[in-house]
Amino acid sequence: MQLLIYTPKLNSRKQYIFDFLFSQVLGINHQVLDDASTFSNYQGPKISYAPEALADEIHFKSYGLLDELGLKHQDLVSIDYHDVQVFFPVQSSVMPFDVFAASFYLLSRYEEYTNKGRDQHRRFPAKYSISKANSFLHKPVIDIWAYDILNIIHNYYPDLAFQKRQFKFIPTLDIDRPYYFKTEKFTRRILKQFKSLLKGKFTDPFDVYKQVAQWDKYYQTQTQYFILMGNKHQFDVAPDNHNPKFRKLLSKLALGYELGIHPSYESHIHQEEVLKEKQALEDIIQHPIKKSRQHYLKFNLPETFENLLEAGITEDYSMAYADDIGFRAGTCTPFYWYNLKTERSTSLKVFPTVVMDQTLRSYLGLKPQEATEVLNKLIQEVKNVNGTFISLWHNESLSNFGVWKAWKPVYMKLLENASNTNK
């Protein structure tokens, strides 16, 4: 049984958001068309998305955003819907707001093109987002809305099939400084090693890779590594690419993991840096690199993602805020990036990250126990919609060393609650 969706003036925006909600989230066999006659004669399950209903079908009234081309300032008026402040309100519709326009607005990151607010690292911060302003940043609202749509349709067509998806957990590690001692300048390394020896410590605290492999085996997870190769900027602290210990580590990790690139601080606007760093990593591990996450979660749209595509990257994991946790694009479902400059869906698949270790400790100022409580709530939000929970940690935050003292149990609890061993 196929769901038929009618909309006048079918275009790339509508096709994109229908495909995401009905195919990628709900797994519903559907067809979108702009032929009113064919739609009216269809006897199976159907909905319309238009300014006005054609007859007595399930009607979602359109606000107008998806009929536009290009960008303009959107005056977002909010209303209450299920205790959440939503935008693009409409009347005479099965839902009190244009759920397709709102989902597209969040998923395409429309506001990041039109809102010029940036932080000290020239990033779009959570504090300027509609998600933060309307207090739904910590909920995967698009996924929640998708199931609301499904429930509405099932009230009329209870036999319409959909694919029930499974909760997934993807732990990721960004490797900025692979070792605490081994890749320091010689004089600094000797001093730090001497102090460490006096305290009876002989192992490098940032060398957590064997332990991560053990966790992956026990918790049935597959950690995704992202490797920083840049070392020219003050915020790029990777060792020299010719450092033998660094190269040995990468070659060893590549035997058990598919490594991704962690493009350096200024790479978000310099494509040549992405290409150079990606090539350096590929030369070491002798394997093509397809995955990426921007250092400092620093990206500009559309330039950064266009550059990644040009560099041959097919998956990006940068979709997260540094200054807050939650769902930057409103979803916990991987999605294909829509380029608002070209008005086209692209082949770059975006994997939205839910939480970063530095956000919990540095930006939000949480203590370990508080962080664990916050993580449990986020995990449950994603489990409620059977989405994908992606965490961002660093090897240094697993060290139980320095500022990360007492934080290792936080990660252990995360693994326990989000892994396949705790469904």
pLDDT at 231: 75
Q: What is the reported pTM?
A: 0.94
The domain spans of the chain are 3-156, 168-418
Angle at 372 between CA 371 and CA 373, to 5 degrees: 90
Find tokens 């192992």 and name the residue.
Answer: 203
Task: Identify the pLDDT of residue 197.
Answer: 57
**Where do we find the tokens 């200024």?**
266
Look up tokens 């494509």; give the residue: 271
Give the DSSP per-residue string, 321-376. -SSS-S-TTS-SS-EEEEETTTTEEEEEEE----EEHHIIIIIS---HHHHHHHHH
Q: What confidence score (pLDDT) does residue 187 get?
A: 41
d(CA 174, CA 398): 11
Q: What tens digit of pLDDT does each residue of 248-292 get?
A: 999 999 999 999 999 998 888 888 999 999 999 999 999 999 999
Task: Give the span between the Cα atoms of 203 and 193, in whole angstroms.
Answer: 10
Q: Which CATH architecture has domain 168-418?
A: Alpha-Beta Barrel (3.20)
- Ranges of the chain with pLDDT below 50: 186-187, 423
Give tens-digit pLDDT for 264-276: 988 888 889 999 9
Per-residue pLDDT, 201: 55
Q: 268 to each of 8, 136, 243, 265, 318, how far by Cα in Å? A: 38, 28, 25, 7, 11
Chain mean pLDDT for the chain: 94
